[in-house]
Structure formats: structure tokens, C-alpha cells
Amino acid sequence: MTQSPRSLSASFVARVGLLASLALIFSYVEAIIPYNPGIPGIKLGIANVVTVIALYKFGVKDAVAVSVIRIVIAGLLFNGLFGMLYSLSGAALSLIGMTALKKTGLFSVTGVSMAAGVLHNLGQLLMAAALIEDLRIFFYFPVLLFSGIAAGILVGIISTLVLRALR
């Protein structure tokens, strides 16, 4: 049963609001941590733990809502318009991949998260290539591939531990 925006349940709005707030706090913490490995575009992505938990605990609709709300607000507060565009493009590809892999039942939470990290970086590169109109930016993909794998594994392990604790 599909719900129009006016008929969203109070529990959905409250749940998504709380999860998006938690994800925004993680985004803020990550923004203020003096973490700079010297490679542009590399982040841990700890806010994605909340998105992974939302996907596994509540479903795709919750994960999408949490992700979009967090990215838009974080973009307005910390990252600016282009940061928001890059994050939205990465999140879109990442959420599509996570949803597809989760549905197969063949991958662990960590495996799904690892793929999501790589897809997020690919989505951001696709947006960058479209904005600067230069495909040479894809020479940077190997660096982002490894960072996406590492961040995805970390997010997946944390998400697995949290999901176990929530059961």
C-alpha cells in the first residue's frame, strides 16, 4: 500500500526524524574530526552506519528518507551545494546497489556495505565527470575504489554489531 506524503504515519515520521538526526550528528562529528589522509574525497562515512541500519531494520523507504534528509541538511550546514550534489549522487547509486544486493540474500551486511562504499564513490565520480565535462577524472577511481572498500568494511562491521545489539 503506497502512502501519499499527507498520509505518512506518525511512527514513520518520528523514526526517520530520529535516525536522520543521528546520522546528521555523525556527519557533524566527521566534519570536525581533523582527519585528512592527504587524499581528496576520502572520508570514513560513519553516518552511513545509520543508513545501513535503517535499510536492514526498517526497509528501503526509511533508508532513502534518512539518507536524503541527512545529505540535504548536512549540505546546507557543512558541505555546500556541490558537496550536497556529490553526496546525493553517491547515495543514490549506493542505495540502489545496497537494495539489490540485500534482496539476493547472498551477501552479509558487511559485504553489502562494502559494495555501497564503492558505489558511493563511483556515483560521486560520475557527478564530477558530468559537472567538469572531463572523463579523465576516472583515473582517480582506483584510489576511491580502495578507500570505498575500506570505509564500507568499517561501516559494515559497525552496522552488524549494532544490528545484533538491536535484536
Q: How far apart are CA 63 and CA 84, in angstroms?
A: 17
Residue 117 lies in a domain: yes
> Is residue 2 domain-resident?
no
* 108 within a domain of the structure (yes/no): yes
User: Which CATH number characterizes residue 25's domain?
Assistant: 1.10.1760.20
Please enumerate in sequence order all residues whose Cβ is within 8 A of that of 35, keeping only pairs 6 or more positions apart, or say none: 43, 44
pTM equals 0.88
Overall domain count for the chain: 1
Predicted confidence (pLDDT) per residue in 92-107, tens digit = 999 999 999 999 999 9
Which residue segment(s) compose the domain that 125 sits in? 9-166
pLDDT in tens, 56-82: 999 999 999 999 999 999 999 887 888
Which residues, at least 6 apart from 16, have a Cβ–Cβ distance to it below 8 Å? 54, 62, 65, 66, 69
* pLDDT for residue 4 is more than 70: no
Q: Residue 8: is its pLDDT beyond 90?
A: no
> Looking at the domain assignment, is residue 4 inside a domain?
no
| pLDDT tens per residue, range 33-62 | 766 666 666 788 899 999 999 999 999 999
